Amino acid sequence: MTPPGPDLHGDHWARGARADHAVNVAAGGPPDWLRRLLRQELDGAIRAYPDEAEATAAVAHRHGRSADEVVLLNGAAHGFALIAETLAPRRPVVVHPQFTEPDRALAAAGCAAAPVILGEPWALDPDAIPVDADLVVVGNPTNPTGVLHPRAAIEAIIAPGRTVVVDEAFMDFVGGEANSLAPATDHDDLVVVRSLTKILAVPGLRVGYLLAPSPLAARLRDRRQAWAVNGLALAACAAACHHPARLAPAALRARADRDALAASLAGVPSLRVHPGAAGFVLVEAAGRDGRALAETLRRGHGIAVRPAATFPGLGAGHLRLTARGGDADARLVSALHALLR
């Protein structure tokens, strides 16, 4: 696969910055219970080849699925490459604006996707999906718009001969998960990709999984290399899925921080604010170059934000701002005020 462009992900902008509003994982770093667990598990996890049984059972239990419907992943991003290579779709589409790794994975597998670009406010329109699309990738909630599609809108794009892949990497941030398709067992060709990287704030650990009907899950699982997921990631996955209530504090904090940030951004001149359902806020500085703004914020204030023009369907002025709470968000808002007044 071609390497991502140097600025295709938020971590490029965050490296070396004093304040990171570019990476979209939960604020505050990994929770204490997880740090303790990883320290405890370190020795055992690195001495033995990884055993997926416990993490697989925990994921299945969390979502009311059977273990044979679970495929553990080295982060959710692994799932897109696995799906592309295994299914080799003829007419794949990706619903944009959204995360572009599925496009890269499909292109690398020799089956480049056509973009379906939704117009603002980016509601999923089932009629926009070409009837002959045999693979459709859609994010829910979507990065970077934060749009949460109703479960029924996604179910409306399910069709015979078509695999629908729902990227629910940010669903842990949404209270109640009423629109999640993770528990749905009544669709033959539905794949739900989940990441624990985001809510646990462990992008370096790589923790994800997918849920699919067992024949499809078996094809995907068998395509992975041996020991695809490391032992510490498995320990984190098992613990989080055995005790999903442990994820609630980070989700609550993210929602409160996001709403507070969106409210303060509303006072910044010429900025349009799209708060969304995840822990970040998409904004548009009309008539401005978001990339130049991001560079100035970084150089002048040590603040990293993610310019969003690389997401198909968004414009030069879009920026994705991850809420970090308190003083960090206040400094971000005041820096934007100074730049945009």
Ligand X SMILES: Cc1ncc(COP(=O)(O)O)c(C=O)c1O
Provide the minimum distance between the beta carbon of 239 and ligand X in the complex, in angstroms, as a whole number: 16
- Give the footprint of ligand X on residues 9-68 (CB under 6 A): 24
CB under 6 A: which stretch of 47-55, 74-82, 266-274, 317-325 binds ligand X? 74-82
CB under 6 A: which stretch of 42-50, 72-80, 214-222, 254-262 binds ligand X? 72-80
Contact residue for ligand X among 30, 31, 75, 231 (CB under 6 A): 75
Strand order in the sheet with 271-274: 271-274, 280-285, 318-322, 306-307
In terms of Cα–Cα distance, which of 173, 103, 112, 109 is closest to 138?
Answer: 103
- Give the footprint of ligand X on residues 141-170 (CB under 6 A): 143, 167, 169
The 3-class SS string of 194-239 reads EECHHHHCCCCCCCEEEECCHHHHHHHHHHCCCCCCCHHHHHHHHH
CB under 6 A: which stretch of 73-81, 180-188, 218-226, 236-244 binds ligand X? 73-81
CB under 6 A: which stretch of 75-83, 237-245, 246-254, 318-326 binds ligand X? 75-83
**Category of 122 on φ-ψ map: left (φ > 0), alpha (ψ -120 to 50) or beta:** left
The residue (of 208 and 307) whose beta carbon lies closer to ligand X is: 208
CB under 6 A: which stretch of 37-45, 70-78, 184-192, 237-245 binds ligand X? 70-78
Cα–Cα distance for residue pair 310/308, rounded to 1 Å: 5
Whether residue 111 contacts residue 84, with contact meaning beta carbons closer than 8 Å, is answered with yes
DSSP assignment, residue 49? -
In terms of Cα–Cα distance, which of 3, 5, 18, 30 is closest to 247?
Answer: 30
What are phi and psi for residue 328, nearest 5 degrees?
A: -60, -45
Contact residue for ligand X among 92, 146, 208, 231 (CB under 6 A): 208
Provide the minimum distance between the beta carbon of 37 and ligand X in the complex, in angstroms, as a whole number: 18
Provide the minimum distance between the beta carbon of 116 and ligand X in the complex, in angstroms, as a whole number: 16
Whether residue 327 contacts residue 15, with contact meaning beta carbons closer than 8 Å, is answered with no
Provide the minimum distance between the beta carbon of 112 and ligand X in the complex, in angstroms, as a whole number: 19
Contact residue for ligand X among 34, 37, 55, 77 (CB under 6 A): 77
69 binds ligand X, rule: CB under 6 A: no
* CA angle 283–284–288, rounded 5-degree value: 140
The residues of the shown chain that bind ligand X, judged by CB under 6 A, are 24, 75-77, 99, 139, 143, 167, 169, 195, 197, 203, 208
